[in-house]
Structure formats: C-alpha cells, structure tokens
Amino acid sequence: MSSSATPQDATEQVGVRRRLLFLAPLAVLLGIGAAFAVGLTLDPRQIPSELIGRPAPAFELPPVQGRTLGLSSNDLVGEASLVNVFASWCAACRAEHPLFMELARTRQVPIHGLNYKDKPNDAAAWLDELGDPYTRTGADLNGRVGIDWGVYGVPETFVLGPDGRIAYKHIGPVTPEALRETILPLVRQLRHRPTGTGS
C-alpha cells in the first residue's frame, strides 16, 4: 500500500471486491436464465438437419428380431419412402404408430423402420403387439446409425426421394396434420420430380 493510501481507501477497495464477488455469480445465473428462456421459445421440430438434400448416410443393419428383411441405404433408392426411427421404450412412438399402420394398409408410401437402441426381444414384442407397418426394419442396437442420421431422440421420421436423398425430417411423433399437410404432399412431389435433380 502506498503512503498516500488511507484506511478509508482500503475499506472501499474491500467493499468493491465484495460487490464483484456477489455480482459475478448473479451475472452467470442471469445469463443461464436468459439462454434457458430463449430455448423454451424454440420449437424442437424446427431444428434443421444438415442432411437435408444429401444422400442418406451409408449403413447396413440386420432386421429386427422375427423379421426377415434388414435395412440398408441401398434399400432407400428407387422410390419415395419414409424412414421412421422408433423404439419399444418410446411412449410417443406408440402414439404415432396407428398412423403408420393406416399408411401401410392404404399403401400410400413405403415405411421403413429404424429401431433405435432397443432390446431385440422388446422390439419384436412391440411390433407383434401393435402391428408391423414397416416394409423393412433395421436393428440399430448401439445407436451408431442413428448418430450418423443426426437423430436427437425418438421418434423421428425422414422423407426420402427416389434418389435416396433426405428431403425432410420430422422430429417428434407424426400427427395427422403433419402427415396431411407436409409429409404426404412432399412424397407426391418427390415422385414426380425428375431423376437426378438435387434438393
């Protein structure tokens, strides 16, 4: 301390330090709160996918237990189709499943199932109980393929064109509105798009 400093100066410095120590955690808390508040306003279904317009990532998976046809990226070329990421432990998957059963019954679009991080017996029992709407299924036991596809969680549904490119990603359970207003119109559009066009 210099000879010109007074005891009052030292007391003021201690007071400033204490205020800074009190305000720093408060500022951090306010920043976290602001980020959380902004996050709550975002619709998770609007998270963009970097894969839109790109070919589906290369993969090859065995079928879900009890099914005969596995799923690979080669199976996704040739016609517009859906890839539904599902799991037996996913409550929202159960909610959307009747829509896929109806799609399979009416043959509006082929649906392939990507079974994500599921136990083989549980996945098989789930499809046996609720019905199997899938043309092909792939058992992604360790979630590696899901990671390559940018899966955030289940359910998620991808729309692919005949060229095997991902045209759309729906996050969360598919609703009748999403099917009617977005997914099926896009499937129809992709069926009439000339082969070889990009996005």
Average pLDDT of the chain, as a whole number: 85
Residue range 49-191 in CATH 1.20.120.1760:
no
Query: How far is it, in rounded angstroms, from Cα 198 to Cα 190?
Result: 11
Percent of the chain's residues with pLDDT above 70: 72
pTM: 0.75
For residue range 53-63, list pLDDT tens digits in order: 999 999 999 99
Instruction: Please state the rounded mean pLDDT for residues 181-194.
Output: 92
pLDDT value of position 50: 82
Structure tokens at 122: 């549980």
Q: What is the pLDDT of residue 192?
A: 87
Contact 121, 89 (CB under 8 A): no
What is the three-class DSSP state of 79? coil
Using CB atoms within 10 Å of the CB of residue 48, give its burial: 0 to 12 exposed, 13 to 18 middle, 19+ buried.
exposed
Query: What average pLDDT score do residues 47-75 get?
Result: 92
- Tell me what pLDDT residue 193 has: 75
Going from N- to C-terminal start, the domains of the chain cover 7-42, 49-191
Mean pLDDT of the region 33-57? 60
SS3 letters across 25-62: HHHHHHHHHHHHHHHHHCCHHHCCCCCCCCECCCCEEC
> Averaged over 35-50, what is the pLDDT?
46
pLDDT the model gives residue 194: 64
Going from the C-alpha of 180 to that of each of 31, 36, 53, 168, 186, the distances in angstroms are 41, 33, 22, 14, 10
User: Who wins on pLDDT, 26 or 173?
Assistant: 173
**What's the pLDDT tens digit per position in 81-113?**
999 999 999 999 999 999 999 999 999 999 999
Bridge partner residues of 156 (DSSP): 85, 171
Q: How far apart are CA 108 and CA 111, in angstroms?
A: 9
What count of other Cβ atoms lies within 10 Å of the Cβ of residue 126?
Answer: 23
Give the pLDDT confidence score for residue 29 in this predicted structure: 53
- The string of pLDDT tens digits covering residues 115-160 is 999 999 999 999 999 999 999 999 999 999 999 999 989 999 999 9
